Chain A
Amino acid sequence: MSVLLRTDGVHKSYGGVRALDRCTIEVGEGTVAGLIGPNGSGKTTLFNVITGYAKADAGEVYLADRRITNSAPAKVFALGIGRTFQLTRIFPSLTVMENMLVASQHSHSGARKRAMEQLEFVGIAGYHAAPAGTLSYGQRKLLELAYVLVADPAIVLLDEPAGGVNLSLVNHIAARIRELNAAGTTFLIVEHNMEFVMGLCDQVTVLDSGTVVAAGPPDIVRTDRRVLDAYLGEDIEEAEDDPAPAEGA
């Protein structure tokens, strides 16, 4: 399996706060990778650095073998990296279809057809003529996913896709991710919903204070002592009561 997305020793500081510290991750082509960590661990900052929304102080970002460090967001998107945001960012005064067409790289008629297909895929085609600002939060999540997909990205970075939505919609989003992944799209997902991450991801990377503390298959990572320390701290007492997983790590 070849590596599609790689960060190599990325540093990023905001004033005196070090958001990323020698952060190195790899995402294999065709996989669903998870990126977890406590609040403030640098997950979204890493997304921002990869997608050009923030400039890395040091280190490199590669898409396949191409260096894309500190490229502009428009260029990163054109190269095949799409992303969604933790708090959905749609264009509220545009219609749902217009939102889709902003991201489209196809010709006019082809773009509309493709956009409608994607809206049908995520399940909000009935809203294509509605102003996007009238959609509910969950529908906005689906719209954001749909318009990222309309440009056929090689890899999609999802920032908390299951955050703030009901269980049925979480399942709906998970199913769409599985279908897309089966068709060849690679995913890197930041998520606090452990059920979602562990059930969906092939590989999980754990960040703490901007540094990778563990990486591997979910079965291995979930029993890693450093992960329990950094991210599942509240479970340590339980883990100590039942020493088997800790020892296993």
Chain B
Amino acid sequence: MSEDQRTSLTVLRRLGGLTGLRLAGVVVLLALALVFPVVDPSPVATNYGVYALIFVAVASAWNIFSGFSGYISLGHAVFFGSGAYTLGITARDWHVTGIGVFALLPLSAVAGALIAVPFGLIALRVRRHTFIVITIAVFFIFQLMAYNFSFTGGSAGLDAPFLPWGAQTYNNPFYYIALACAVGAITLAWLIRRSRFGLQLRAIRDDEDRASGLGVHAMRVKLTAFVLSGAITGLVGAVWFFYLTQVQPPSGFDPLFDLSVVLMAFLGGLGTVSGPVLGALIIEPGQLYLTANTNGYISEILLGSLFLVAVLLVPRGIIPTGGEYIRRLTTRGRAAIPAAASAAPQAPTEPAPVREAQR
């Protein structure tokens, strides 16, 4: 067996061990999430659970586009609010009531995807700061439309159909629906990150022009990710609306929503699969707790402060920084890989007669 083959085998074994450990961790976390409403069935606890899972799903959806491609969207509330309004409008106009409303959820995903197409075709023509500014502008256009169109209910907004469920267990179905959304979004993010499509997105994040020069159809790849992200966010927006039972323009199209989602991803680790999940599980329950137990503005001040602390202490996020720290500990004292130039065979080249050529 050659040295290279032995090295590859060792790397594979290590990866296999890590995958097994990770898989076990995922199974345990999923089991804990499934039994959470059984262990603590109080509406206060499950309310925390529903909101945390809603934001886990949204942060993962945002990460599929922004985290992987590097295009930071501050306009995902467009999809969230549109998903909420789509459910409210269709349920109202088609006279759908009770649990039948849940059958309308896919329409909100479709609405998110459909809005993402023209939104993306315009915004994705520009990059970096200009892209961010355009997403903010589109966000305000949608908020203004929600205020001013009659079919959105104007500033009064929309109410969700009534669900005749008992107060003690009302949250549980929403908890499991939000859990399904979160698991779906995380799984999709994981699959994309491992796929050729995900690789192309990450190449775009590093150097879009170079990726194009290597055969990556950048616009097509970015738009596909934007549409997928918009669809999931729209779907989750509808779940949020049905759970909350109402939506108004400032709550459906909320600038703090976008900032919170971005902070979740940054805190946990932009572009990683687990980072935005961890960020959402830290920030959303924290915000809920502070909002419930202090004056409302305290949570917003702390949110801004947390952002600054994250930028100062863990600029790459908790997961990448922690991973690097562990890697440093586990690889301490190991020999470095030999330098490429010495590993490469020396060229059997004859020096060209340059002096002679110029003479």
Residues in A lying within 8 Å of B, measured CB to CB: 51-53, 72-74, 76-78, 83, 85, 89-94, 98, 101-103, 105, 108, 120, 122-127, 129-130, 135-136, 138-139, 142, 147-148, 151, 166, 168-169, 171-176, 178, 194-200, 218-219, 222, 232, 235, 242, 245
**Interface residue? B31 (CB, 8 A):** no
A-B contact pairs, 18 of them (CB 8 A): A52-B213, A73-B209, A74-B214, A83-B213, A90-B210, A91-B207, A93-B206, A93-B271, A135-B340, A139-B341, A148-B214, A171-B346, A174-B349, A194-B357, A198-B353, A199-B353, A199-B354, A232-B358
Q: A73-B212, A194-B357, A196-B352 are in contact. Are A94 and B344 (CB under 8 A)?
A: no
Determine the chain A residues whose CB is within 8 A of the CB of B33 once the complex forms: none
Interface of A is mostly: helix
Residue B323 at the chain A interface, CB threshold 8 Å: no
> Is B103 located at the chain interface by the 8 A CB criterion?
no
Tell whether, in the assembled complex, residue A101 and residue B344 are in contact, meaning their CB atoms are under 8 Å apart.
no
What 1/0 flags go to B199-242 for Cβ under 8 Å of A? 11011011101111111111000000000000000000000000
9 extra interface residue pairs, beta carbon distance < 8 Å, beyond A90-B207, A136-B340: A74-B216, A83-B213, A102-B199, A108-B196, A138-B341, A142-B340, A151-B215, A178-B349, A198-B354
- For residue B166, CB closer than 8 A to chain A, the reply is no
A200 to B271, CA, bound (A): 43
How many B residues are at the interface, by size bracket? 35 or more
Chain B residues 15 to 49 lying within 8 A of chain A, measured CB to CB, are none
Question: When chains A and B are docked, how far (Å) is the Cα of A83 from the Cα of B350?
Answer: 25
Would A77 and B215 count as touching, CB distance under 8 A? yes
Which residues of chain B are near A148, meaning CB under 8 Å?
Answer: 214
**A151 CA to B213 CA in the complex, in Å?**
12
Which of A51, A90, A142, A178 is close to B344, meaning CB atoms less than 8 Å apart? A142
Q: Which residue of A lies closest to B217 (CB)?
A: A74
Q: Which residues of B contact A199 (CB under 8 A)?
A: 349-354
The 6 closest A-B pairs by CB, nearest first: A199-B352, A123-B344, A175-B347, A195-B354, A91-B206, A171-B347
B164 interface residue per 8 A CB criterion: no
Q: Does B338 count as interface, using CB distance less than 8 angstroms?
A: yes
Q: Is the CB of A129 within 8 A of B11?
A: yes
- Complex: A178 Cα to B344 Cα, angstroms: 16
Q: Is the CB of B358 within 8 A of A194?
A: yes
Q: CB distance A102 to B203 under 8 Å?
A: yes
Residues of A close to B340: CB separation below 8 A: 123-124, 126-127, 135-136, 138-139, 142
Q: Does B312 contact A (CB under 8 A)?
A: no
Select which of B215, B343, B352 is within 8 A of A200 by beta carbon.
B352
User: Residues of B contacting A102 with CB < 8 Å?
Assistant: 199-200, 203, 211, 214, 216
